[in-house]
Amino acid sequence: MKTTFDPLAQRYPSQRYPIYARGGMVNCSSPQAASAGLEILRRGGNAMDAAVAAAATLTVVEPTANGIGSDAFALVWSEKDRRLFGLNASGPAPMLASAERVLSDGNDCGGKMPRRGWTPVTVPGAPGAWAELAGRFGRLPLAEDLAPAVRYAREGYPCAPNLAHIWQQDLRRYQAELTGPAFAGWFRTFAPEGRAPEAGDMIRLPDHAATLEAIGSTDAAAFYTGDIARRIDAESRKFGGYLRYEDLAAFEAKWVEPIRVNYRGYEVCEIPPNGQGIVALMALNILKEFDFPRRDNAETCHRQLEAIKMAFADAFHYVTDPAHMTIDYQSLLDPAYGAMRAREMGDTSRIWSHAVPPRSGTVYLCCADGEGNMVSFIQSNYMGFGSGIVVDGTGVSLQNRGADFSLDPAAANCLQPGKRSYHTIIPGFLLKDGAPVGPFGVMGAYMQPQGHVQVVMNYVDFHMDPQQALDAPRWQWMRDGSVTVETRFDSQLARELRRRGHDVRVELSTPSFGRGQMIVRLDNGVLVGGTESRTDSNIACF
């Protein structure tokens, strides 16, 4: 039967309450991915296994935002070790790639990195992240963790409303932009009948299934040193790309020490650069100098916006692969530096430049098990489907992280061989008195640190539960200097921000404000979860 309703015609505001559970919880932007994580928990896996299962499934059930060729980051609380670990699985630029070569080959777009095609493709890190996370902390073989994703890819799943909407938008854009034989694999994989799926259509991705099976059975070796790596190398050579087998074979996901700031007694934790989590921490390091008795007033929003603008000004100037940074990134989190920046803030909007500190496109999910382990995990192709490249016959949709490199030799983030770019995807985690509060995250390019600041303040300053912390209307500073707000944002507050000099505009599209998840663990071990109301999110728990 053909339906007569439109699942995107949301006429009435709905209410979501936080979800409580004790045995385990998996929060994802797709119900199938959340179900996959829960399935693995019930099979005897832990939160780390569940995160891998959910992440792999998301490459199948939300290909508009991530794929097997994604990058990934994770923050992992190990109850056994009683500490937080960071995992950076972002891939470096190919060894043949450099700013000079891109320009001399004519592969640039007016002196900038292109967004599509083989040029912006860097080494994918997601399969390495799955293998590393499962191998170090998981209980089950990687093949078992990936089994639900393989099943969804082979047997199919029904298309969700927001997924269909985004897929249709991307297809229209790609039909106009992605010309030439290099992109044929994308159209064969994601629009085999010349159209994008509608809500309720069954989607099957058999090439994904075969590739995920190969990754699972070899602990990702097939992707980096096996047949898949050779196929990626062959297509890159065929279409003038810089990525080679040797780049893939040399890849290693890196365990890193999380960075953190103390915000009103909570430790807010992020992955260090090359990720942009430091932007959220810099903003909170400034905002802790002020008191915020109320959330929905002009003073609070103005100071949040100015702090974010200051933080981005510093990040865009300094942040890149830490091996290439001109300063110690920890100096950007110095409390004295945050206090100095706070003193610079006035009552009206300003354009900020970087300062000198003291010397010294994504899918997000979170998981927790009944033993105390918790994972904050994020992976992304960037800019929707990424580069627009799908390696034919593999289902591997390659990310385009290299698009964020600069071709200016004077820029901190200038493209160099083997260098990791400034990276937008960031998982978050809260600690208090050395104990885990829980994972949180908000996806969406440069919205992510802004979402982190708003969610943390909603929880810490304004005492909201995880669901309300996510549901609260959001603002977003744009790189053109404007500020967009959701339609639910208070109109009087928007007018007051305009009077303070902010170029405020109402944005009708809710996905642009990010899609988040959050889990908080109570003292008795009970888990409290919130999930994103702006998309097809779901919580699976027991």
The residues annotated with a catalytic role in the active site are 362
Helix (H) or strand (E) run with residue 317 in it: helix 298-318
Residues 6+ apart with CB under 8 A from 374: 47, 76, 77, 366, 367, 368, 429, 436, 438, 439, 519, 521
Residue where the block lists tokens 């208090």: 432
Distance CA 12, CA 408 (A): 49
Residues 6+ apart with CB under 8 A from 90: 71, 72, 73, 122, 125, 274, 275, 401, 420, 421, 423, 425
Helix (H) or strand (E) run with residue 450 in it: helix 447-460
Distance CA 435, CA 54 (A): 25
150-175 burial string, b = 16+ CB within 10 Å, else e? bbbbbeebebbbbbbbbbbebbeebe
Residues 6+ apart with CB under 8 A from 106: none
Residue where the block lists tokens 């009087």: 492
CA distances for 373 relative to 24, 42, 142, 490, 521, angstroms: 10, 15, 18, 38, 10
Helix, strand or coil for residue 406?
Answer: strand
Q: How far apart are the first and last CA of the chain?
A: 34
Read off the tokens for 318.
């300094």
